[in-house]
Structure 1
Amino acid sequence: MEPIARPRRRTALVAVGALAFSLGAVPVEANERVRPGMAPSGPCALPGYTGDVSEAMPTPHGYARSSGTVRALTLFIDFPDAPAEGSTRERYAEFLPATTDYFAASSYGRLDYRPVPVHRWLRMSKPFAAYGIDRGTRWREGSNRGYDLLIREIAAAVRGDIDFADYDLANILVAPNAGPPATESVLSVSFAGYPLLPSLRNISFIWSRQTGPSAFRVLPHENGHTFGLPDLYWTRKGKPPLLAGHWDVMESDWGPTNDFLAWHKWKLGWLAADQTVCVTRSGVTEHRITPSAHPNGLKLVALPIAPGQVLTLEVRTRSHLDQLVCRPGVLIARINTRARSGQGPVRVSDSRPDSGGCLTRDDPSLHPELTDAPYTPGDTYADHRTGIRAQILTATPTGTHRVRIIRP
């Protein structure tokens, strides 16, 4: 398949960092038994778009494994007109071990992310501008410019020293003084699921530099693509609708830290058998959902509602990975597995529409309107197309929420 060079966001931010659908086909509460590292299955694991990264399940072959031990080759490049101004160890420290720790926490220890750095700057043969790298630059096989040339030069520089077959993915950390700063143009990009090298299919390029306490998150975002996840921010023309906001790193990849959506954790193999529930039949069910930050308990309640569409419920509270949660509660989203990356595959329901949000912090990486999106005890979510209702009943001091699902 042809890879897509994905532009990072709608705008450059200031640096601060065909489904046979049948209700009643399975029991009222179908808890799909999956083991971490296995592809999700069952009536809630909806198929969809497979021409590129997407929300479809299972993830097609060719992407990097996303659970168990993942070996990430880490290389460093600079250019004759932009020689590195610091050491490779300094550049490495911008992203690691923070990325390893992030994946360990978000996956509940089910992703053992092991970067393998080669600590030397690989000097490219031409000045930066000669490669024609810009925002949205695509892969052009056989080109004497762009990423194809860069990859060939990188491979030649390490030939005989590195066997790419030993690694699940590769990260290319570029000297931050090469190319424009991130405030002007965001170049970081991943080429996922495509054999760029004979024995390596997934490569992320990280350009420029961000500041702030969680600037490393551009790397988990890009590696999310190598695991098969799409961009959640809007890349089409016109005013963007409300999408996922600051509730997943695949939309908001810089700024204050945030966790992955429970749907993504299931897709990536991070949820155990008793941590997902798929509700398909008519009736009333109740569920106790524990916060995303806690390793144990139910994390995801899913309801298929149409071919390629599913409603998801999870609980988000303030935590190490969700530092700016100002309204803890049940986050409800509509997932579209047929939507392409950058075209709104995830849309979070706003429990307080047009409120302006609950976060007073002025941060250009945030979407204020969705900061108070979670539903709290006493709230009811109603899906007018299906008649499904979700009543938020109670919450414990530790954040576990009891939810009643009413499915006509």
Structure 2
Amino acid sequence: MANSISENQYVQGPLSFSESHRSFRGDIRGRYVRIFKQAENAQLVLAEVEVMTQVGTNVARGKVAIQSSDHYLDTGVEGPTDYALAIRPEGMPKAVMLFAEFLDEKVTTNVARGKVATQISEHSGAVAARAVDGNTSGVWEENSCTATGSERNPWWQVDLGDSYDISEIKIWNRTDCCGDLLRNFHIMVSETPITANSMSENQYIQGSQSFSASTKSFKGEKKGRYVRIFKQADNAQLVLAEVQVMAQVRTNVAKGKMATQSTIHRNAGAARAVDGNTSGVWAEKSSTATGSERNPWWQVDLGGMYDIREIRIWNRTDCCGELLRNFHIMVSETPITANSTSENQYIQGSQSFSESNKSFKGDKRGRYVRIFKQAENAQLVLAEVEVMAIPDEQSTEAVANHLLGNGRAQRLFELQSYGKLTLDVMRIDGWKNLGRNANYFVNDARGYQGAIVEDAKNLNPNVDFSAYSIFYVVCPPGFNHISGAGGVRFGDDGDLVHGVIFGGGLYESPYTLFVHETGHTFGLPDVYPGRPNYPPENPSRHFLRAGSWDVMSSAGNATGFFGWHRHKMGWLDTHRKTYFESGTHEIVLTRLSSCCGTSMAVIPVGMAENPSKVFVVELAEPVIKFTNSDLIRASIFEMSENDGVLIYSVDATKPTKADPFIVYSKALESVQQAPFTTGSSFAEIQRFNKWASQMMEMAPYTTGDIFSNEEAPMNVEVLEKIGSGPNSSYKVKITVNEPTAANQ
């Protein structure tokens, strides 16, 4: 929703008041209420908003609320002062995780990864397989890009190994240079091998395509086995970093499972219907049959819970096909003990067919599937039953385990809080359909993040949400509009509840993304720039601001939180931190991950009790390294260049995404400009980002180094490192400058 004042106004404005509260009366029907200021550099502060109906009911209380940006930082040094949105529940926070699909965005899988890929030619060893290796890096030196030679009509192709209903194709570009090569290309999908660059048929997206960004998604609906990308041009080169082909994959979870039936006719046991043989010829002993009786039934126990999307039934074909008439299909999470049609129906009403097979599509979660005929003196004959479900790797359990890092996310909170916070996440299994297309929430539903949270909650009426202080909504991989976003809700009891929506980005992200977004529910802000200026006037002013040193900055590489964030959350005990307003002090700093000792020194700027800015001195914590998306914990003691003393500032006068955090990198002290020509193209920005990131990785100061900065009210000298390994510490000397007009 844009800040339009040409329509949707409840009261013609603009409006103003300075009293404690004010009432605005009107008469308009709606679901979404927005209050906004049309101004530059403006802040909006509200104590409470009530939306009253004609009968005097406040229908806003407890509903999902969102805002354009977050709060200002609080640099109070007197203790763990709450952030504006901080949740401080008595005891430990409880969270619930829900899973929501859309009518047009369902759970999909990349069916191209690891498949056989070919291309017209090969340039400098850049083989076709690199585009389906799972590595989306567009940096040539990382050996993840494929490239053809310069020639007429270059092409790249992947054989998926089987036909799939393809709903999306994602293409990653080279990013360190040459991104403009992905221009005027075509995407083709075919069920048979593509032998010519025909554009008259097999096009996945009509017309030629172009983009220069790092990645782009192309959505369409086409069934096929072969995917080809080609450029119709002379003396052209085709370069790709990665290609993902997204399709709905369903697995027959009934084959070989335990099957039973009401009676057995002529040894035609129930297991024949799940033996994988779809022949309907009786003599081939693949059909099952009951006797002629009242309400005959056949049932399979899938052995576990599945999200069932389709049930395929094969009929007897040599005769008697008319026997499959007026039957019911039931799916249940618990054993089915009676032939009840009032509940558990997969498809409403009785079904009939006389063809060789028929598919029944639905959306129901269950373990037991029963087919029965509600009739007297009836016989049930089946050749085969396939129960097509979301495969295990796409199950809500698997997605949740990925999101949580198989428990590592909860463990991180426990370690970072020194045991003061245990995050209990309750998983409500099963993909629930929101009943609308994704575009409804993105384009039509004003405040769509809140609408998704609210509608997902309504799909689970049996869940008592008052028992939880946080809830997460996980969306399918194709929902690329967000990778993590939040909506705030106040419950009926006044407690703050925060919902986090995870979209397509989570499937390619480490568990620290979950930690990052959960940090927002505690009121922790993003500490990366919202709109980084490029090219920077001076790289020493810290383009990346916080680098990878805090999970609220780089969700991918950091292993935890700044000491300042631990302080604000009340995790860091008083004896673990010290404040210096003047003088020279020699102290030994222990690691934040250790059990004891002083781990954080704070130098305030301005009023000591409520400074406008603080400088923090602490020891650097480890980072995470990635190899083909697999997490590898890299000990800081194996990466000596990252060991040392970290110095950063927190500015209370700057809101989130306006650079309130700045890490002062030793590597950037004497750098006035990047060591190469900078420009404004995507490739040049990416190149600069990589260089700046490397500079921030080398931020810590080590033995013999002296920190001095015109913005800082102190100097820090690193005297010596004491010990080695995880129990090592650093002795530092901090000299606080005399107060000046600049830092009063």
TM-score, length-scaled by structure 1:
0.74
CA distance in 1, matches of 2:711, 2:552: 27
Compared CA separation, residues 71 and 322, structure 1 to 2 (3 A): farther
Compared CA separation, residues 196 and 130, structure 1 to 2 (3 A): farther
Partner of 1:235: 530
CA distance in 2, matches of 1:234, 1:227: 20
2:642 counterpart of 1:313: no
Partner of 2:419: 109
2:686 counterpart of 1:350: no
- Listed as ranges, the gaps of 5+ residues in structure 1 are 5-50, 134-139
Residue type of the alignment partner of 1:333:
Y
2:519 counterpart of 1:219: no
CA distance in 1, matches of 2:401, 2:434: 22
Quick one: which of 465, 469, 474 aligns to 1:173? 474
Structure 2 counterpart SS, 1:215? coil
Identity %: 22
RMSD: 3.2
**More strand by proportion, 1 or 2?**
2
CA distance in 1, matches of 2:482, 2:458: 27
Deviations 1:201-220 (A, max 9, x none): 311111114567x7111111
CA distance in 2, matches of 1:330, 1:295: 18
1:349 positional shift: 0.8
Compared CA separation, residues 157 and 333, structure 1 to 2 (3 A): same
CA distance in 2, matches of 1:66, 1:259: 21
Partner of 2:95: 72
Compared CA separation, residues 195 and 313, structure 1 to 2 (3 A): same
- Map 1:101-180 onto structure 2 (within 5 A): 101-132=411-442, 143=445, 146-159=448-461, 161-177=462-478, 179-180=479-480
Q: Is the 1:394–1:401 contact (alpha carbons within 8 Å) kept by the matching residues of 2? A: yes
Compared CA separation, residues 366 and 92, structure 1 to 2 (3 A): farther
Residue type of the alignment partner of 2:449:
Y
2:107 counterpart of 1:84: yes
CA distance in 1, matches of 2:507, 2:398: 14
Partner of 1:388: 714
Partner of 2:736: 407
CA distance in 2, matches of 1:67, 1:296: 25
* Structure with the larger RCO, 1 or 2 (CA within 8 Å, 6+ apart): 1
Q: Is the 1:259–1:322 contact (alpha carbons within 8 Å) kept by the matching residues of 2? A: no
CA distance in 2, matches of 1:130, 1:284: 61
1:62 positional shift: 4.8
Question: Larger Rg: 1 or 2?
Answer: 2
Q: Is the 1:257–1:322 contact (alpha carbons within 8 Å) kept by the matching residues of 2? A: no
Quick one: which of 62, 73, 77 aligns to 1:55? 73
Q: How many residues align?
A: 340
Residue type of the alignment partner of 1:53:
H
Compared CA separation, residues 275 and 406, structure 1 to 2 (3 A): same
1:297 positional shift: 2.1
Residue type of the alignment partner of 2:733:
R
Q: Is the 1:64–1:169 contact (alpha carbons within 8 Å) kept by the matching residues of 2? A: no
Structure 2 counterpart SS, 1:191? strand
Q: Is the 2:550–2:558 contact (alpha carbons within 8 Å) kept by the matching residues of 1? A: no
Structure 2 counterpart SS, 1:69? coil
Compared CA separation, residues 196 and 310, structure 1 to 2 (3 A): same
Structure 1 counterpart SS, 2:520? helix
- Listed as ranges, the gaps of 5+ residues in structure 2 are 1-33, 37-68, 109-393, 537-542, 625-632, 676-687, 738-744
Deviations 1:87-135 (A, max 9, x none): 11011111221210111122222211111111122210101122116xx
CA distance in 2, matches of 1:363, 1:238: 12
**Could you tell which deviates more after superposition, 317-326 or 296-305?**
317-326
- Map 1:367-378 onto structure 2 (within 5 A): 367-378=693-704
Residue type of the alignment partner of 2:717:
Q
CA distance in 2, matches of 1:3, 1:100: 36
CA distance in 2, matches of 1:3, 1:188: 24
CA distance in 1, matches of 2:88, 2:693: 31
CA distance in 2, matches of 1:336, 1:195: 29
Q: Is the 1:78–1:84 contact (alpha carbons within 8 Å) kept by the matching residues of 2? A: yes
Residue type of the alignment partner of 1:392:
V
Compared CA separation, residues 277 and 100, structure 1 to 2 (3 A): same
1:237 positional shift: 5.5
Partner of 1:12: none
1:363 positional shift: 10
Partner of 2:588: 288
Compared CA separation, residues 144 and 231, structure 1 to 2 (3 A): closer
CA distance in 1, matches of 2:501, 2:618: 32
2:604 counterpart of 1:304: yes
Quick one: which of 191, 208, 211 aligns to 2:487? 191
CA distance in 2, matches of 1:305, 1:405: 15
CA distance in 1, matches of 2:523, 2:591: 25
Partner of 2:554: 252
Residue type of the alignment partner of 1:94:
H
CA distance in 2, matches of 1:75, 1:322: 33
- Map 1:12-31 onto structure 2 (within 5 A): none
Q: Is the 1:65–1:168 contact (alpha carbons within 8 Å) kept by the matching residues of 2? A: no
CA distance in 2, matches of 1:64, 1:131: 27
